[in-house]
Structure formats: C-alpha cells, structure tokens
Chain A
Amino acid sequence: MMRLVQSFLIAAVTALILPLAGYAQGPLRIEITDGVIEPLPYAVPDFVPASPAAAEYGKSLARVVASDLSGTGLFREIPASAHVSTVSDFGAPVQFADWKTINAQALITGAVSLSGDRLTVQFRVYDVFSGAEIGSGLQFAGTTDGWRRMAHKVADTVYARLTGESAYFDSRVVFVSETGPKNDRAKRLAIMDYDGANVQYLTDSTALVLAPRFSPSGDRVLYTSYETGFPRIYVMDVGRAQRKVLDTQEGSMSFAPRFSPDGNTVVFSQAQGGNTDIYALNLASGQRIRLTNAPSIETAPSFSPDGSQIVFESDRSGGQQLYIMPASGGEARRISSGAGRYGTPVWSPRGDLIAFTKQNKGRFHIGVMRTDGTGERLLTASFLDEGPTWAPNGRVIMFTRESQGADGRATLYSVDVSGRNLKPVSTPDGASDPAWSPLQR
C-alpha cells in the first residue's frame, strides 16, 4: 500500500501522504518537520531546448534545479548516467515505467527557448509512481542574465509542491567578505545568491564593516561601518549601492541594527558612557525612542514577525541571556535558562522559534528555542559558531563558523533547523555575518 517512498523516510517521525492508484488524486508529499533521514529520489533531465542555441541553458537550468533540491538534504538526485530514457519532447507523454525502473519518485521535466536575450522556461513535476502531474505546468520568462533566478524559481516551485511549504532558493545573502590575517583583517560588504553564486561587493575594504541586515522587502541593507573612525549605522540601497548614515546620536557608538517587519523602524544598540542600551528609530519621522534603560549591556534586538515584540540579549543577570520585551519597550522577561551564555537572538520568520548563539564550556553553538524559552535544541558545535540568520521559510539557518588559531578563517555554514544537513556555503574569500533576504519577487 504505502509504496516504495516510505522506505526513504523515517516512518516514526515523518508523515507521508501518498496517492494510491485508483484513489482520489493526492500529492506526492514529504513532511519535513523533523528532518528527513533518507532523501526522496528524483530525476531532472536536461531541459529540452527549442533550438540548439538554448541547449546550454537547458543543461544549466537542470543543474541549478538539482543543486537547489539536493542541497536541502530532503531530495536525492538520480544522476543522468542512471536514466534509461531521455526526455526529448516536453509535450510528449512521460514514459513513467522508465523512471520507476530507476526508482525516481519525482520527475521534473522542462523546456527552454531562447529569443534574442530572452529566455522562456516551462516545467512540470510528476509523481512517477502514480503517473500523475503534481500541480500544473508553469512558465517563467526573463532575460538570459537572470537564468539562475529562473532555475531557482523552478526549484522553489518543486520544493513547495513536494513539501507543502514555501521555499528559499530565489533569495540572496548579504554578508561580510573577509581577507587578510586575523590581526590585519580587511572586511567589506558583499551580496550573493543564497547558494554562493553571483557575488558582488557593496563596499570597499577601507572601513571596517559589521553585521549587515536586510529590509523586509530586500531592497535595503542596514550595517555598521567605522568609516568615520567610530561605529555608526548606515542604510544602503542595494540596487544603487548608495548609502547614508542613519540619524543616530552624534558622538555615540551605534551598532546591531535591524529593521522592523514593516520596514519603517530600525532598532539598534547605542553605547555611551560605558553603557549599551537598545533604541528604536522611526525612519520617516526621525524620532528616536529608548527601549531599554539599564546599566547592563542590552544589544542584538530582533523583532517578532508581527512586529509586536523584540527579543534581545542582556547581561543584566551577570552573563548574556535572552529576553523578550514589547516593541515599545517596557518590562522584559528572560527566556533563556540553560547553562552558559546566550546571544544574537533572531526571531524565526514563522514566529515559532528563536535562533541564538550559545557559549558554554569554551564551545559555541547555534541553537533554537521556542519563544517561551522551552524546547532548546543545539544544532551545531564548534570552536566558534555565531550569528544565525533564517532562510525565508524558517527551515534553514545560516551562520558564521570561525576556525581556531593564528590561521583562523571565517566561513559561512548552513544547517537545517532539524540539525541535519550542516554544510559550508562557498564564498570566494572568508565570510562572516550572513543575513538572508526574503524570497525575491
């Protein structure tokens, strides 16, 4: 009854809805809540080119789709070398028997045509064992320089149809690119596709820059720069690479900025006279409100997705711990309670979890807990992991891992919120402080 697919999933922790032949149509579906141990096998043959000129795009598109899907750890590609049939006509009936033979559970077929610098991509997703299409065919069109985004959009659609959740492939990451030794490190702001492709630099390395953060619409980036010699917050228009200093208080140090979910407010830390507190700046009115007022260090504020609350870190109890307060300030409640120190909290875009950096017994961890502080799970452990950022769908976390010693180097890593699929993100140089964009439109 539960056909082959079941053997690829952990029955105990994953539910699997499978269509049965003759029954009402139900989708091939994998449930990703608790992480998948055995990924679902799929095939994605080269997209069928409408002309010889489109053939390279047909190959490349299929490769990026496969890289996206397999990169999640939820899906496993059956390589072309194992295929027993080819797809040479996108419109022709699929020979499901040929894909069953190699145990492909899902099949993605596509076609691509090229007209001038304009690409048109069509694709379909099939449940091989029921012989049914999942969803209906879709078409994307755009210029050739955006071909990778089109592949990401195909993969986003496939992911959404097979998991029932929104995806994150057509997204970008802004980060700090690092070169040079530890005691002479040059840092500059950079932006790339989520998978490390298309790196562009947004600043030069003359001034130290820290911790960029995307606006909710992805068009602006907040970051901290020492370009005046003192840390100040800047907001950059990513498309035009123009930036201006934020109207924080002159003569004080300001850092750790983050947008509110509506993009109208920036929360940040300001240090003055040996004390760091959290402030909110209304971008339209310029009004600045002090949200915390304690002699301890309050920093790393992050809004809840509904904008009503802020999670932040404070050492008011002695060491760094996590607290939640109303977005307008006021009484805060401590949510972290385990051993060690907790910092850099970031509210999940789904609203259900808070990711954090934990320091305990000389090790660093990226972890998650529920917003009431229960259910703490550590996802990583190393000499130095810090600064989590959420994928737009709240399923994956990217962070900085710095290696130990004189040759220490910072690298970006990603990990599933389940703790599975830990892997480095390829960047040209050292990289730190990633911030994941929302899904692009």
Chain B
Amino acid sequence: MGQLLSFLYRFRAFFTFLLLEFFCIWLIVRHNDYQRSSFTKTTAGVVGSVNQTTANITEYFSLKKVNEELAQENARLKSLLLSNRAIPFDSLTQLSIASDSTDSLSYELIPAEIVRNSIRNANNFFMINKGSNDGIEPGMGVINSLGVVGKIRDVRGDFAQGISLLNTRNPISAKHKITERMGTVLWEGVNPQVAKLLYLTPDVRIEVGDTIVTSSFNSIFPKEIMIGTVRSSEPDKNNTYLNIEIDLSVEFGSLSFVYVIKNNEKPELDSLINSNPQLF
C-alpha cells in the first residue's frame, strides 16, 4: 500500500495531467454530438452579452453592405408583390381565396442578428441575439436574403447557437432546380465559398451555373430556398456519382442579419413520422 502511494505520489504530475486531459476529452466528446447542449446556462449569458457588445461595435463597419443587401431584398419582395395580379372580376377565371389565412401560414420568419460567427474552422458555428424568449427552438432553419445559413442547435434565454452550413457535420437536403433531382449539400471543410453536392448520378444533366435549392424533403427549410450555383461537375472514378462543387450564395464572411424559420406544421410532421417510423 505504501509503495502504491509513493508510486502515485512520484508520478502525481502525470496523474493530474491524465485527469485534466480526460476532463477535456469528455468536454470535447460531449460537445461533438451537435445536438447536445454546448454552452452551459451559467456561461451563456456572459458569453452572449460580450459577443453582443463586440457585434454592436463591429456592425458599424458593415452597415453599407447590409444596407445594400436589404435594399436588394426589398426590391425582390416588391417585384413579388407587383407580380401578384389583382383579383380578377371576371367570372370565367377561377377565384380562390384562402378561407382561413392561418391555414396557409405554415412558415413564420423571426428576424435576428448574428453576434458571433466563424468560418475558418472545420466545424463552424454562429450565435444569434434571439433565444427561447423570442420563440426560437433547436432544429429551426436559419436563412438570410441570399440563401441558407444553417440551423439552430442550442437555445438559451436571449441567445441561440446555430450550426453553420460551413460545418462538415451538417448535411442539408437539396435538389437540382431544373431536373428536380435530390442530393445532399455538405461542406468540405476548407473553402468557405464552396460546398459539395453529393449523391447525384451521372445521368443527370448538370451545367455550370445551374441553381441548387433546398428540397421539400425536410421540415426545417421551406422548399426552393437558394443554396448556391454549380461551379463544376464531373463523374467520379467509378462513374457512380457526380463530383459537383457549388458556389454558395451566402457570403458567410459578412453575415449580419438573418431570419429564423419557424415551421408551424413541424409538430404535425414529427408526430406523423413518430407514429409511422417505418414509412420514412
């Protein structure tokens, strides 16, 4: 016993090292599973408010760009509004008005501001200044006026953390807009402007510049939200799939204002999936 104790004492530095290192590894592993909560309740407020303060200072430098983006989005919305023809008072054309406006309102957008964003890691995350107090829940999609940004993974009172599209563990269901073929968009981990589109077979005709949008096969994003355009496409070695690179439409380096998507039908969809798991 004495020998054991003296052994432990002699190598106490090494054992302390092992203990601390195991603690770190436990933190990493727990954090790695991206559904788990990553920042604890006690630190979220402090970290969030420091991030908010720095974002308040740095956002002045990007005001011009933000203005431009918002103006562009305004123009786009205006053109949508104008293209919506007035109700024709001609009995020959069919007249249909949604009887209850809440029926058609399946998605709601919650505006938020990015207070923290990283793009240079292999697994990037961002933080927004809205949280559970504003009705944000884990699993909601995040977009901005240019396209898909990511999804929410963890929510606290006034802040929420999101997993960026620039994350090697965040696949997004996508489709080729012209042929409607499904694939998966996954970021490769190096260039923040380029991602890969996986699982498209060589029989699909893909041209450079084709649009890639979200598919309707998920309850996170509405369908046909822009993701990017095709940058290059070539068959892989075995000619089973295409190697497609896409230019992401969102500029992740200068993210500032985003919308969090609340899907009002998600509880229904989820309960349907849960009651018939073999169907999905």
Pairing of A with B: no
Please list the residues of chain A having a beta carbon within 8 angstroms of any beta carbon in chain B.
none
Task: Tell me the B residues contacting A by CB distance below 8 Å.
Answer: none
